[in-house]
Structure formats: C-alpha cells, structure tokens
Chain A
Amino acid sequence: MRKFLFPQEPDYWLTSLRVGLSLVVLLYAISSRHDWMALYSIGRRSIVGRDLAEAVLAADSPLIPQLGWLVHAGGLTGMNESTVLACAWVALLCAALFLLFGLFCRSAAITTWFLHLCAVKSGIFFSYGVDNFISIGLFYLMIGPLPDRFSLDCWIFLPPGKDPRLHGFFQRVLQLHLCLIYFFGGLTKCIGWGWWNGASLWRALTRPPFDAVPPEMLLAGRHLLPLLGVSVCVIEVTYPIFIYWRKTRLVWVLLVCAMHVMIGLTMRLHLFALIMIVLNLAAFASVWFSRIFSRRSWENHPSAPAEGGDATVESG
C-alpha cells in the first residue's frame, strides 16, 4: 500500500499540470473577456444578475468564494463594481501568466484557483463541466509540491527539491480521481441503450449548441456511430484497468486524448477537451516526459535520491 500510494516520481507531471492549467485558464479568461461584465455584474450590463447566483450559493454555504466578496472589499476602498470586476479579470490573467512561467508558483496557483472559483461560483448558472475540471486541476496544483524544476522559481530562488514520494503521492491522487471520473462516466453510459446503438452519439452531435458537424455528414458515416458509441463506453469504463497496466497505458492515454480531441472538434467543446487532455497527461504521461527530457537533468535535480537509491520512475 505504501508503495502504491507513495511511488517515487520526478516532477514532470507537476510541470505539465502547471503549464497546461495556466494555458487553459488563459484561454478561459481570453474567451470570456467580451462577456465578463455581462456574466458577473449586477448592474445594467448583466444577463442574469450575479446576486441571484450568490444568493443560491449562500443557501448552500456563505463561505464558498464568490466575486461578491471582492466587490464588497473594493467598495470599502471606493471602487465601483465594474472596476473591481475588471481588476479581477486582469488579476486572473496575470496569475495565469505567472503560473505559466512558474514565477511565485504557489501564490500564483492560489490566486488563480481563488479568482477562477469566485467567477465560477458567482456565475453558477453559466458554469458547466469544464469549470469543475479546471477547479479540480487548480486545487491539486495549489496543494501540490510546487515548484517544479522548470519553473522560474526553481531557477531564481533554488528551493530545496521536494521528496519524489510526495510527487508520487499527489500524482497518484490525481490518477485515482480520473479513474473514478471515467469509470462512473462510462458505467452510466453503459446503462443508456442509446450508447450501444449510436443513437446517443447522434443526439450528442446534432443537439444545439454542440452541432458543429452538419447532420448530412454524420449521415454519411452512420454505420460508424454504433461502433464509436460502444468505443466511448469501453474506453471510459475500462480506463482504470488499462491506464494502470503498463503495457496498455500509452494506448489508453492516446485513445482518451483522441476522444477528447474529437469531442472538442465536433462539439465545439475546445476548452473542455483541453482541460481533460491536460489532466490525463499530467496524471499518466509523466513517464514519457521523463524519457523525453534528459536523464541528466533528473539526476542533477535536488530532489533526486542519492546514488544507489531507488530512483526508478514508477507510476503503476
């Protein structure tokens, strides 16, 4: 059990999580810049007032982070709502940039997580799966053993290396989390008859606003729909088995990434596809990252065990 929960891992997984998440948050911020005020303000520019979402949230718990806190704090210093919201957007963008370059990693990760969470919770009527997965990723990053070797923090401040077992533990938790998500997602799909005969895939691809592919084109490939539907079920429900089995891990990572690329392209869910690929690569592809980068950099890293130690890259 100890070996399972605390395998020795280099910090490549953390680098991919940090860089991937920062790119996702940057894209999230950029894509919402036009509608930021409309989504999160109370005033004349809003679509649905933020106050309603925050009232619903307060019914659950008043301690869940929300943009209303920032607006209230800004009000105490004489800033109006629009200014505070604009500052929050800029701060989110800057925090994501700091995270991308690995400067003040921990503070940047906490700030990014907090601001993103505030926005998601204050716009609860507008949030969907991608926001949950960004929150999951940012939460793991925030509590993870930062900084990693490719961060500017590591180059400038030279902090002591983290125990590779600590990296292994955090990566293992992320792996288990993804296994649960895919397994239960796949299992519930198996219950639905439509996923076995292609009907659900047809519906998913033709349902607005996800109808990026013309139905006539789907009709041409109608015989593939049942096969693809079953493939999605199989890939998801068997994910925990084949992603852990070393011989099939590469194939399964590629299959899952390909599935998400297709979802992104055919259903306009680009950000969702990206966050899922980032989480999968961080959880399961670090062994290949470590092969790509020179072994020398790992051996020279402060977190590498002493010569003769058990520095094997083990993740399954």
Chain B
Amino acid sequence: MGANAPPGNVFRQAITVYSNSAGIESAYGFFAPNVPNGFKLVFELHYPDGHVTYELPGVGDAATGLRLNNLFECIATTPFDPVRELLFKMLSYSVWREHPKARVIRAVFGSVVSPSLAEFEAGKRESYEVLYAYDFSFPPAPGTTKSD
C-alpha cells in the first residue's frame, strides 16, 4: 500500500512506519511455495608467506548462526551489486580483524545444493555451487600480536 507513491509522500511514510512498527512489513512464506537453497560463505585467507587458510563466519551463539542465514539470503537476493560487495567487504574485514596477518581475503559465497531424497539414497551428498567470489586486500597491521 502506497508503494508506488514517491518516497517522500506522507501517506507512504506513514504506512511504512506503521507496518514496520507492527511487524507486518513483509509477507510470511513459511517455506512456501518451495524451500529455497541454503547458502554458505567461506573465507580464503592468503598470507604473505604464501600459505592459505580457510575460515567460516564466526558467531558466538547458535541463535546468531540462524540469523546469519538471513544475511546470506540478503546477499544472494539483493539486486544491487554494490550492496553485495559492501556486505562481503564488511564480513571480510570482520575476519581480518581476527587474522590481521592475512594480506588478501577471498570471500567465496555459494549455494548449498541439497540432494533430493532419491538422490540421497543413491549416495549423492550436498554440493556447493559458487555464486560470487570477491578478493579484498588488507594492509599489514603494525603491532599485531595475534598469530595465525
């Protein structure tokens, strides 16, 4: 309602504030009509001496792990490439803070393709389909104490 009005339109603003305040701004799908694929983000950390390590986005709690899933869906579905790149950059930066000796971090984002029931019976397991990969360079962090 009011979605086609100009952004500054008072009616549109009022509807937006009300719907967000009441928690009714988005539809509730409950995995309908179909269950979408899951997503996975892996960071490839490249060090000056050439060795490479791998990291997953780290959170302190399983409840936040579920919330990360929503972030991944945002990354996968946003039509704005600059927003996607910015999100990857922020996520990579949060990993670099933990591993400041890494010079390049490659964020590899992909879709987890789960096998169907019949495929699982036939021995197929989940696979990983790369959707996006971004490289971010970081400067050497002076005075870092953490060793990787």
Identify the A interface with B (CB < 8 A). 31-35, 38-39, 44, 46-49, 52, 56, 59-61, 63-65, 117, 121, 123, 125-129, 131-136, 138-139, 181, 184-186, 188-192, 194-195, 198-200, 202-204, 206-209, 215, 218-219, 222, 225, 236, 268-269, 271
Residue of B68, B91, B94, B117 with most chain A CB atoms under a 10 A cut-off:
B117
- In chain B, what residue has the closest Cβ to A206? B114
Of all chain A residues, the one with the shortest Cβ separation from B64 is A35
Q: Say whether A63 contacts B13, CB under 8 Å.
A: yes
Distance A225 CA – B121 CA, assembled complex (angstroms): 15
Q: Knowing A38-B59, A64-B16, A185-B30, say if A203 contacts B35 (CB, 8 Å).
A: yes
Interface residues as binary, B103-142 with A (CB distance below 8 Å gives 1, 0 otherwise): 0000000001010110011000010000000000000000
Please, could you name 27 A-B residue pairs with CB atoms under 8 Å apart, sorted by A? Answer: A32-B63, A34-B60, A38-B64, A44-B97, A46-B94, A48-B91, A52-B83, A63-B13, A64-B16, A117-B20, A126-B67, A127-B70, A184-B28, A185-B28, A186-B32, A190-B33, A199-B117, A202-B116, A203-B34, A206-B120, A207-B35, A208-B112, A209-B38, A209-B66, A222-B117, A268-B62, A271-B63
Q: Contacts of A60 on B, CB cut-off 8 Å? A: 16, 20
Count of chain B residues with a beta carbon within 8 Å of a chain A beta carbon: 52
A203 to chain B, nearest CB (A): 4
Is B34's CB under 8 angstroms from A194's CB? yes
What's the Cα separation between A193 and B40 when bound, in Å? Answer: 26
Q: How many cross-chain pairs have Cβ atoms below 8 Å apart between A and B?
A: 163
- Interface contact B33-A191, CB-CB below 8 Å: yes
List B contacts of A44 (CB < 8 A).
97
